[in-house]
Amino acid sequence: MERIVYLNGAYIPETEAKISIFDRGFLFADAVYEVTAVLDGQLIDNEGHLARLEHSAKELGIKLPMTSEALTAIQESLIEKNNLAEGSIYVQLSRGAESDRDFDYSEEIEPTLVLFTQTRKIVNTPKKKTGIKVISYEDIRWRRRDIKTSGLLPACLAKHAAHAAGADDVWLIEDGFVTEGGSSNAYIITQEGKLVTRPLSQDILSGITRDSLMKLSRDTGIEIEERPFSIEEAYAAKEAFISSATTFVWPVVEIDGKPIADGKPGRFTLKLRDIYINTAQKNL
């Protein structure tokens, strides 16, 4: 069945949604976006996602056409119109379109706002049992990775290379250290049982799932070290995992063909995944 999408004030079938060929999102990747998970028809951690959308738009001087409350009402309405029980909802906001192509833009430009849903199994996905295999891959992205822009070509190329190599995803490497996953934050549990993940900075996206996981991990009593870790340290880890709104928590069982510990999803990883899902469902 055709999805109903939202475009600049209208709810329309996806095939009827049209935007200008001069939209700056298309011409210059001059756009930001957010992805929020939907469980049992409800938005998960959505306040955090909309706050980050505000950050991304503000940093680039893109106008947010409405308040977070108004955006939430559109998200909820699309969930209902598409009968979405489990999956994701995307908010795509470009700086807008002018009458011709020009690098510079006028201050009066009006943004383009698109929302659409995607059905996806997040809770009962086979990946939680099997875990994923990743390859290390050079991080060639720009220097403002704290901004969630739709300039995702480096991630697309990296994921394509991972699939071609028989892996599921990448861990991106800069100066010998892991920055993050292809579209996720990256973590290891050391042999001493410490949770290590890169600290927040402009080098990585401030994951909304990461934020929740850090609080939940703290409650378990595990020692947390927010510091960069190398790919060699990851090879020798007791456990490894990623987090994002589309995966929640997925175990990483192999990096560059080397199994992590016994090559099976780690115990803490699976426990943290369960805690995250239980907490999210309790808050619905």
In angstroms, rounded to a whole number, what is the distance separating the alpha carbons of residues 182 and 168?
10
Confirm whether 148 is a catalytic residue. Answer: yes
Total count of residues recorded for the chain: 284
Q: Name the strands in the sheet holding 87-94, side by side, starting at the edge strand that comes first in the sequence.
A: 10-13, 4-7, 112-119, 87-94, 31-39, 42-44
Task: Kindly tell me which residue out of 5, 57, 189, 208 binds ligand PDD, with binding defined by CB under 6 A.
Answer: 208
Beta carbon of residue 7, minimum distance to ligand PDD (angstroms, whole number): 20
In angstroms, rounded to a whole number, what is the distance separating the alpha carbons of residues 202 and 217?
23
What residues form DSSP beta bridges with 89? 36, 117
| Binding string, residues 178-207; x marks residues near ligand PDD by CB under 6 A | --x--xxx-------------------x-x
Number of residues that bind ligand PDD (CB under 6 A): 14
Task: Kindly tell me which residue out of 7, 245, 272, 280 binds ligand PDD, with binding defined by CB under 6 A.
Answer: 245
* 216 near ligand PDD, judged by CB under 6 A: no
Residues 15-54 that bind ligand PDD (CB under 6 A): 35
One-letter amino acid at 54 equals E
* 244 near ligand PDD, judged by CB under 6 A: yes
Indicate the residue among 56 and 183 with the shorter CB distance to ligand PDD: 183
In angstroms, rounded to a whole number, what is the distance separating the alpha carbons of residues 22 and 14?
20
* 217 near ligand PDD, judged by CB under 6 A: no
* 149 near ligand PDD, judged by CB under 6 A: no
Beta carbon of residue 100, minimum distance to ligand PDD (angstroms, whole number): 30
- Looking at the chain, the number of H-run helices and the number of E-run strands are 8, 15
Contact status, residue 152 vs residue 31, Cβ threshold 8 Å: no
- Residues binding ligand PDD (CB under 6 A): 35, 180, 183-185, 205, 207-210, 243-246
Q: Which residues are catalytic?
A: 148
